[in-house]
Each structure stands twice: as structure tokens, then as C-alpha cells.
Amino acid sequence: TGFIGTKLQVHKPTRLYICFDEILQNDDVNFKRLGTIAAITYDLKPGTRDLKPETWNLESIEPYTFRYMKIIVAEGDCTVEDVYLREYANPDIYQASFTSSDDRLDRIFFAGLETFRQNAVDIFMDCPHRERAGWLCDSYFTARVAQDVSGNSLIEKNFFENFCLPDTFAFLPEGMLPMCYPADHNDGVFIPNWAMWFVVQLQEYLQRSQDRELVDALKPKVMALLDYFEPFKNEDGLLEKLESWIFVEWSAANGFVQDVSYPTNMLYAATLDIAGKLYGKKELILEAETIRKIILEQSFNGEFFVDNAKRSPKKELVITENTSEVCQYFAFYFGLATPQSHPELWRKLSMEFGPARKDTKAYPTVHPANSFVGNYLRLELLSRYNLRSQLLDESIEFFDYMARETGTLWENISPAASCNHGFASHIVHVLYRDVLGISKVDVQNKEISFQFSELELEHCEGQMPIGDETISLSWQRDENTLTYQYEIPEGYYLIIKNISKLKLIENN
């Protein structure tokens, strides 16, 4: 990602196109692949002094993203003497490192790091080319990586301050937050789900930054958002017939969002619960508990959680049979289900879903998840329930082909859209936490937690910045032992947890 520069000698009046894209299609650059025109046009005239060709030094006025470039001279005659890219990326990542005995993991980490640095210059962006926009929900995942690879939450503070500064948002209903900002959508479109992810991320921001001042400054906007949702509550207290663009995931699940979307209400319950805890409102916490109970009664059909319910002509709420993979992950991620409360469903999800299901075709009536957000929630659940060896294998299945093809990570499981999407860098956070073993950094209480798991790796080492200092950890596995060494900043307390069957040996 950066500013495209060229040095040209123009012999005759010339129309020059510089076309570019992240991938090749049929061994060529398809500059319309993303639904935009990925091209720069120059109309150039030769010099007349001494009848010598004019030398032009050109640089694009905005940054672009590509891996392949094609130069087309549609008219005229010129000589291209030089082409360069003036990089536009986040420089605050160079203390972050990760290496292991598996080249695939190293390649994925590097691709994740590249994806982050190109999508996190001043705010968290979705992609550095088609939009360069600060979308909510994407930012929830990217922000975790920022803390891991930069050791601070400066960009996240910028991101939230943008929402704090304006008194109102033009073109939006009162109380609603823009789905991406600063980027007014004057057509009035918004994503109510993304406004909920704003609150979910705000809780983690407070944990990372201890910035109570900004969290309190955002309270009026959070409360106004909850007021916005009030008229949409039905007789059960669930949100029904939300307006505008209801977004669950880039999959069939997005077709099951009316009239009552259960994944949306699962997220809404989390939003109420978090807002209640952030601002000391117990009534919101109690309401969240009630909503979860109602969702469990309505959505779980004994085998899977169903995505939605529709109003009949008699105005009765009828549960559909629409079932998506991502809906199951929402239920577990937001605490409506656990392996203990729903053991058979968890067995199916953990053992029969995931990347292998595209080959096994298991449960064909359950619509498969996509990268955003289902596959990421799946990895989070495998981590939460200590299935880290499986997490490692599935991460390779999910991401190595992307890292091989573009060196960055993609918006979807296919290259049909962006091949460089900010949220996808979240795998960096996963590798630090679940493979290297730096499981938690608590800046407020000055605590660092290491957790060693049962993994089929011979060794792993890495470094993570924390403020102006660093955490370093390395370990090597032998037949029955795991030998580790580390360095942590002075004044921090270390907590070590061993969930492997190996004997730990400290080698400091």
C-alpha cells in the first residue's frame, strides 16, 4: 500500500494508464475486480525545447494497494524509466515478532502483521484500497492486534474519539451510530449490529487503555443508542424488524435477519450487559439475562440454534427452520451456550464443523460460515475451551493459502473481494495467545500470564511490545518436557499456567 511513482520520458502526446490489483486473473490484471476502477490515468505532453523528450516525475495523490501492476499506453509514445511505491503503512510494529518450527504459522503471522500495518495508520480501516473506511465490528478484532504489536492503544483512542467529537451524525436516526466514521453515508444507511459491536469493543478498550475519561465521555452516545432500540422491542423484549442494513455475516445468515434475528439479539444482550457494567446500571444487566433466557426458549430447537422468527398473517411469531453455522458461534461466544449446557451441539461444532466441512458436507442444512465473522468466532471458541492443537491446525487451513497467494489476509474465504482486510490480522493475536503462550497482559494490575498448551510444535519464540518495553518468550519441547525462558518488564508479576501434559523447566 502506498503512493505509486513513475519516471517517464514522453516522446509524443500520450495517454497512460497504470492499472493494478492484489491478484491476477487469467494471468492479467483485472482492474475492475473490486467493483471500482483500480487505475490511474495520465495525459502527458512532450516538451518542445530542443525537440528533446520531456521527463516526467509523477506520484499518485492518494495511496493504492496492489501486488501486480500493468502499464498501458493507449495513445502516443513514452519510455518508462522507473516505477516505485512510496509505502503508506503503520511503522509502530517493529518490536513484534513470532517464529516457530512450522513455516506455515510463521508465514501466517507475517501476513497478519502486513495486513495490520497497512490497515492501521491513523484509524482502523477495513481495507487500504477500495474504501479505507473505519468500520465498526472490523475494529473490534483489529484493536486487539494493535495492542499486541504496538504495545499501546493510540490508534484505538483516535478511532473512538472520532465518534465522541460530533454532537450528532447527519443522515442517521437520533441515537444511532454510523457504521463507519468519519464517512457520512448521506443515503441514510446504517448497520444497527455494528453500533452494538461499538459497545462490546468499548469494554475491551477500557481494559487495554484504562482510559476511563473517554469511556465516560461516550456514555451519552451509548445511552442514546440504547434509547434508539427501545421502540423495536416486541412483547418478549426482543428486537424485531430493525431497520436499514442488518448484518450478521457475509454468508447465507444475512438472509435470515427478519423479523426477529436471534444472532442480533444475542449481540444485543451482550451490549446491554456491557453497558450496564461500564456505567453501573444493574437494570441493563438484568434485562440482558432475561433476553438470553427468551432466546434460548425460542431459538434452540433441540439440535441447533435457529437464526430467525417471522410474523404470520395472524401476527403470531413463528420460528423458522433457517439455521446457519455462525448463529451457533454467536450463541457460544455471547454466553447463551457452553459445552456443559449444550454438550451435543458443542461436540458437533468442534468435531464436525470447521474448514473440513467443505469436503465432508456434514449437516448440509446448516449454512456454512465465512471468514467474517464466523471463522474468527470459531477460533475464539476453540481457544476458550482449550482446543488449541485443533485451533492451530484449523488456522493453517483457514489462512495459509491466503498468505501464500498475496502475503496478506482476506475479507472472505475466496479472493472475490478484498485480499487485504484489517480484521483478518486478528490471527496475530491468536498466535501470540494460543501458540506462543502470552495469554494475557493486564496493564492495570501489572500482571502477565503465560499459558502452555499441548501443541505439535518443536519450538516457538516471540516478542511483544508493552508500552516502551517488551515481553519475550521462547520455549522448546522435548519428549516429556517443555523448557522455556522469558523476559518481562520490571514491576510486572508473572502468572504461569500449564495445561499440557509436559513437565515445565524454566531456563532463565
pLDDT score at 46: 83
**Residues 193/248, Cβ–Cβ less than 8 Å:** yes
Task: Quickly count: other Cβ atoms within 10 Å of residue 364's Cβ.
Answer: 8
Amino acid at 250: W
pLDDT score at 49: 59
Would the pTM count as exceeding 0.85?
yes
pLDDT score at 48: 59
As a whole number, mean pLDDT of residues 1-30 equals: 95
pLDDT score at 45: 87
Q: Exposed/middle/buried for 186, CB within 10 Å: 0-12, 13-18, 19+?
A: exposed
Task: Please write the tens of the pLDDT for every residue from 272-314.
Answer: 999 999 999 999 999 999 999 999 999 999 999 999 999 999 9
As a whole number, mean pLDDT of residues 118-122 equals: 95
Element (H, E) at 333: helix 325-333
Give, as one character, the DSSP assignment of residue 103. H
Nearest residue to 82 via CA among 63, 61, 43, 56:
56
Q: How confident is the model at residue 51 (pLDDT cuts 50, 70, 90)?
A: low
pLDDT score at 257: 98
* Dist. CA 383–CA 387, nearest whole Å: 6
pLDDT score at 228: 98
- Which residues lie closer than 8 Å to 442 by C-beta, 6 or more apart? 448, 449
Task: Quickly count: other Cβ atoms within 10 Å of residue 53's Cβ.
Answer: 15
* Dist. CA 329–CA 379, nearest whole Å: 10
Q: How confident is the model at residue 416 (pLDDT cuts 50, 70, 90)?
A: confident
Task: Please write the tens of the pLDDT for every residue from 245-260.
Answer: 999 999 999 999 999 9
As a whole number, mean pLDDT of residues 408-420 equals: 92
pLDDT score at 50: 60
pLDDT score at 508: 78
Q: Is the pLDDT of residue 386 over 80?
A: yes
Task: Please write the tens of the pLDDT for every residue from 123-144.
Answer: 999 999 988 899 999 999 999 9
Task: Please write the tens of the pLDDT for every residue from 191-248.
Answer: 999 999 999 999 999 999 999 999 999 999 999 999 999 999 999 999 999 999 999 9
pLDDT averaged over the chain? 95
